[in-house]
Amino acid sequence: MSARAGIVVTGTEVLTGRIADRNGPWLADQLLELGVELAHITICGDRPADIEAQLRFLAGAGVDLIVTSGGLGPTADDLTVETVSRFCGRDLVLDAELEDRIAEILKPMMARYTGPGAPDFATVRAANRKQAMVPAGATILDPVGTAPGVVVAGTPTVVVLPGPPRELQPMWHKAIGTAAVQDAIAGRTRYEQQTVRMFGLPESGLADTLRHAQQTIADYNRLEITTCLRRGELEIVTRYEPDAATAYAQLIALLRQRHGGKVFSEDGSLIDDLVAGMLAGRWIATAESCTAGMLAARLADQPGASQYLAGGVVSYSNNAKSELLAVDAALIAEHGAVSEPVAEAMAAGALRRFGADTAVAITGIAGPGGGTPDKPVGTVCFCVALGDGTLLTRTTRLPGERADIRERSTTVAMHLLRRALSAE
């Protein structure tokens, strides 16, 4: 059996749902990529007895590695290190060098606070001394924020990481390079992991194909396949040992044969990555109604977006469509704001307003009100317009609540944009 691990996510704010757990899923994916089997993810509040109970539960399940997140700050409810130290049978000791390192991190932060009432540095240093208390003999992971992480070797080995993802993620990569973690996961199985992304295929269609694959591919049972519907796209993640590569190649061939037009990525690339590459050398503008800038924001998420994103117009009202994009009011009156003619006029207006050679327009009914028998909630019209006069216009009805419809609209728009640029 492969090396096994468990994850303990601490924090009352996570347990109660005030903050969504981003660390558990991220760490799970990292462990799977390493070939470490994940036994459990547990979430508990900031109570020493509950944290220790989770540690004992995972140790009792026979895991080789436990990873915790959260509870490393200077406040009274940050108790993870103290609890882990007790669980591992180690004394908690002050690391003077680590205390000095934390103090150096705090200095520029404290410089921002001046004037009457500004905290005294010596007081702040003393308050943060708690973060320099570590289990005796532990490997210290340098802080990314102010909180260090620790690795305590043993059976099981325990890795203690901070809660903020921006601190946890880089620290995890340091943790897996330590001798203690490498020893703990020495029995891991080596896997290949591949991701295929599809759009425009219902989950039932993929399920039928996978049933066919199970009957026709000899080593299908050696493929660990996970499917997920994300942002309106199907994501198929497959893990397999290297000597099962032939079975995976047969699966890919079957997906191409049955759903070739729906497969847009075989190397894990996101539609956002693909569109960003296709926009090189172009100048794009957006005109959005129901999505209110979400598409422009999604385009801008990509590094280097300033090289191709001209700007966008949020024309939520009919007046805004007419005044900002020069959409004829008579056109809106005749066809309605949610219609293909209006979407085309919005795209044309965005081309002109920004001097762009590519434009995308979205207008729709996100609900929960506003729908009619002819145009129910979820009806969304799209248009991609290119400077050479090419138009790609579509109307679709998207499922879900208001937030789902708005987010899925941006996904549809990205795929229409890719299709228009591919055809060109």
User: Could you tell me the strand order of the sheet in which 37-44 lies?
Assistant: 37-44, 4-10, 65-69, 157-161, 149-152, 139-141
For residues 42 and 54, the answer to whether their CB atoms sit within 8 Å is yes
CA atoms within 13 A on the CB side of 315: 32
Output the pLDDT for position 99.
87
Residues 6+ positions from 259 with CB-CB distance below 8 Å: 198, 201, 205, 206, 209
CA–CA dist 131, 146 (Å, integer)? 8
The pLDDT assigned to 118 comes to: 63
| Of 156, 206, 205, the residue nearest 180 (C-alpha) | 156
CB-hemisphere CA count at 13 Å for 310?
A: 19
State the pLDDT at residue 402.
Answer: 97
- The pLDDT value given to residue 324: 97
User: What token pair was written down for 298?
Assistant: 């999604």
Over its length of 424 residues, how does the chain's per-residue pLDDT go in tens digits? 689 999 999 999 999 999 999 999 999 999 988 989 999 999 999 999 999 999 999 999 999 999 999 999 888 788 999 999 999 999 999 999 998 888 888 777 766 766 676 666 666 677 678 889 999 999 999 999 889 999 999 999 999 999 999 999 999 999 999 999 999 999 998 889 999 999 999 999 999 999 999 999 999 999 999 999 988 899 999 999 999 999 999 999 999 999 999 999 999 999 999 999 999 999 999 999 999 999 999 999 999 999 999 999 999 999 999 999 999 999 999 999 999 999 999 999 999 999 999 999 999 999 999 999 999 999 999 999 999 999 999 999 999 999 999 999 999 999 999 999 998 6
CB–CB of 150/88 below 8 Å? no
| Rounded-to-integer distance, Cα 366 and Cα 402, Å | 5
What's the rounded Cα separation, in Å, for the pair 239 and 37? 12
Full-model pTM: 0.81
Characterize the bridge pairing of strands 309-314 and 284-288. Answer: parallel
Residue 70: per-residue pLDDT? 95
- The pLDDT assigned to 78 comes to 86
Q: Give, as one character, the DSSP assignment of residue 190.
A: P
Q: Is the peptide bond before 303 cis (omega within 30 degrees of 0)?
A: no
421, 278 Cβ separation under 8 angstroms: yes
Residues 385 and 263: their CA atoms lie apart, in Å, by 24
Name, in order, each residue with C-beta under 8 angstroms of 193's C-beta and a sequence gap of 6 or more: 32, 33, 237, 238, 239
CA 173 to CA 54: how far, in whole Å? 24
Per-residue confidence (pLDDT) for residue 302, from 0 to 100: 96
